């Protein structure tokens, strides 16, 4: 699965930019509050507007200080997957229950330096695990390969039946890095600059998907 990140899109032409990634499985939307991360991007009104112009399921990544208050609002608006950061949540189990009750998948994100092992029990309540392969806050950063150890650990837990989550990765994914991420066991790849920096974003989505499928042995 490829989830183009509109963080790298032209915000003045969002409807056109969303249409340009036809064929993508998800559309990744980074919500940042300038508190949890230093950047400020978009919020619920823009997500609601996007829901009106695309049928690509929205994958909302909340990089915000108060997901306990805000996460369920994105689910109620119609987001398909709503991901919160474990580092910001006061009550992640309640958030997961509320997201699912509102009709969304519940996603849990971990920063590059956050250990996976500490949150295995929490992840049993979640549908997706988002492994950050850059420090959250800005697009276009260099991929941190060391996080793939967490991906491999998560993949083993999923394959053994101990967890039931979709493994997603976000940060520095491009034609050079997607294969190693796929080999490690990623299911869904967030790609911003690689997609929106291409001459034809839709073609790049297909290229990345093919590279990942081949590397994972699913070609």
Q: Which of 30, 59, 127, 187 is catalytic?
A: 30
Residue with tokens 């300038």: 34
Tokens, residue 101: 């009750």
Closest CA to 31 of 80, 82, 72: 82
Active site residue 59: no
Judging by beta carbons within 10 Å of its beta carbon (0-12, 13-18, 19+), is residue 43 exposed, middle or buried?
middle
Catalytic residue among 59, 127, 170, 187: 170
Which residue in 167, 195, 145, 199 sits closest to 18, CA to CA?
195
30 included as an active-site residue: yes
* Cα–Cα distance measured from residue 206 to residue 168, given in angstroms and rounded to the nearest whole number: 17
Q: Cα–chain-centroid distance for residue 203?
A: 20
Tally: H helices and E strands in the chain: 9, 8
Catalytic residue list: 30, 170
């Amino acid at each position: 699965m490829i989830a183009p990140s509109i963080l790298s899109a032209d915000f003045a032409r969002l409807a056109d930019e969303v249409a340009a990634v036809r064929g993508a499985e998800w559309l990744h939307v980074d919500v940042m509050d300038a508190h949890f991360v230093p950047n400020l991007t978009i919020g619920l009104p823009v997500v609601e507007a996007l829901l009106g112009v695309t049928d690509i399921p929205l994958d909302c990544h909340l990089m915000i200080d108060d997901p306990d208050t805000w996460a369920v609002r994105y689910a109620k608006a119609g987001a398909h997957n709503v991901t919160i950061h474990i580092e910001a949540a006061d009550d992640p189990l309640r958030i997961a229950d509320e997201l699912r009750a509102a009709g969304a998948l519940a996603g849990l994100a971990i920063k590059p330096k956050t250990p996976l092992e500490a949150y295995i029990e929490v992840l049993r309540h979640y549908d997706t695990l988002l492994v950050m392969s850059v420090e959250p806050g800005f697009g276009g950063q260099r991929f941190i390969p060391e996080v793939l150890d967490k991906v491999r650990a998560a993949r083993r837990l999923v394959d053994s039946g101990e967890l039931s989550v979709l493994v997603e990765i976000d940060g520095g994914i491009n034609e050079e890095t997607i294969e190693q991420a796929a080999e490690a066991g990623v299911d869904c790849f967030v790609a911003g600059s690689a997609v929106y920096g291409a001459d034809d974003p839709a073609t790049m989505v297909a290229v990345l998907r093919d590279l990942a499928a081949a590397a994972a042995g699913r070609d």
